[in-house]
Amino acid sequence: MSQPPHDPQIEKTPQEVADELAAGGVQLVDVREPQEWDAGRIAQARHVPLDRLSAEAASIDRERPVVFQCHSGARSLMAAQAFQQAGYDAWSMAGGIAAWEQQGLPVDGDVAH
């Protein structure tokens, strides 16, 4: 299995995201498919599947940093790049929810596939 795309300049580690969520400093958007969301999620995340993201973009606060998250980091990296180009303070969570769970951070449900 190949490694997902990686861009350290616009990625945050799961621990950085957890710390910023705890401080109320970021909005977290989960771009996974509905069945992935139903299997397990980060409690503070808002679910907007990647294919709905452009239609929902106006509902994402431009005044606060946004972190996108998927299963492994590939889809969220695409979302972060697009939102950065549109002028958002946008980031991708490196390694996705799989890395979040591997680091022992809390999830609602079981995201392991």
Q: Give pLDDT, residue 8.
A: 79
pLDDT band for position 1 (cuts 50, 70, 90) = very low
pLDDT digits (tens, 9 = 90+) for 5-50: 678 789 999 999 999 999 999 999 999 999 999 999 999 999 999 9
What counts of helices (H) and strands (E) characterise the chain? 5, 7
Catalytic residues: 70
Q: Which domains does the chain carry?
A: 8-106 (3.40.250.10)
Q: Give pLDDT, residue 2.
A: 52
pLDDT digits (tens, 9 = 90+) for 73-102: 999 999 999 999 999 999 999 999 999 999
Measure the CA–CA gap between 72 and 75, rounded to whole angstroms.
Answer: 8
Nearest to 36 by CA among 25, 21, 51, 54: 51
**Helix, strand, coil distribution of the chain in percent, nearest 5:** 40, 20, 40
Other CB atoms closer than 10 Å to residue 71's CB: what's the count?
21
